[in-house]
Amino acid sequence: MKVELASVEDDFDQLAQQMGKIMDEMLERNFVRFRWTQQWRPSVNLYEADDRYVVCVDLAGMDHRRIEIHVENQKLTISGTRPGPRPGQAQGEIRVRMMEIDEGPFSRELALASDVDPTRIAARYCKGYLWIDLPRSSG
């Protein structure tokens, strides 16, 4: 039996949140959002192939050494802390006019499908994306 790799849904799945927001605005309903932890959640793509799953995490501006990936109990956790961007070339006092990029500690958990071989998981960081290879155990 094959179980799909699915993301662990918590209350702040961004896309769902966005959709929900659109719906709520249309229906004129709202409520004050709530987040218990101070960590933010990076966005994720998930691909499925015959021999593997591939996860891509949007994590620009990271030092790859400071990204932590843990696998335990069929659960994949990506965490770390992203430093805020600093405009290095600017002179004098800097004022922020817009701020939409998340910074600080982040964390993302994904549930693994049962056929993922946890021993062969590999990850690499390239051009701001974190790629995680999840090979499927043959048979």
Q: How far is the CB of 72 from other proteins (least distance, A)?
A: 5
Tell whether residue 91 is a contact of other proteins (CB under 8 A).
no
Judge whether 7 and 110 are in contact, CB under 8 Å.
yes
Tell whether residue 26 is a contact of other proteins (CB under 8 A).
no
Tell whether residue 46 is a contact of other proteins (CB under 8 A).
no
Among 6, 70, 83, 137, interactor with other proteins by CB under 8 A: 70
Say how far apart CA 134 and CA 55 lie, in whole Å.
Answer: 8
The first and second tokens of residue 89, run together, are 């070339």
| Three-state helix/strand/coil letters over 106-117 | EEEEEECCCCEC
The first and second tokens of residue 21, run together, are 């927001």
- Residue 96 falls in which region: left (phi positive, over 0), alpha (psi -120 to 50) or beta: beta
Among residues 119 and 138, whose Cβ is nearest to other proteins? Answer: 119
Among 82, 116, 130, 135, interactor with other proteins by CB under 8 A: 130
Q: How far is the CB of 49 from other proteins (least distance, A)?
A: 19
Among residues 1 and 97, whose Cβ is nearest to other proteins? Answer: 97
The first and second tokens of residue 125, run together, are 């960081």
Tell whether residue 27 is a contact of other proteins (CB under 8 A).
yes
The first and second tokens of residue 105, run together, are 């500690």
The first and second tokens of residue 123, run together, are 């990850």
Tell whether residue 10 is a contact of other proteins (CB under 8 A).
yes
Contact residues for other proteins (CB under 8 A)?
A: 10-11, 16, 20, 23-24, 27-40, 64, 67-72, 77, 79, 81, 89, 94-100, 102, 104-105, 118-119, 121-128, 130, 132
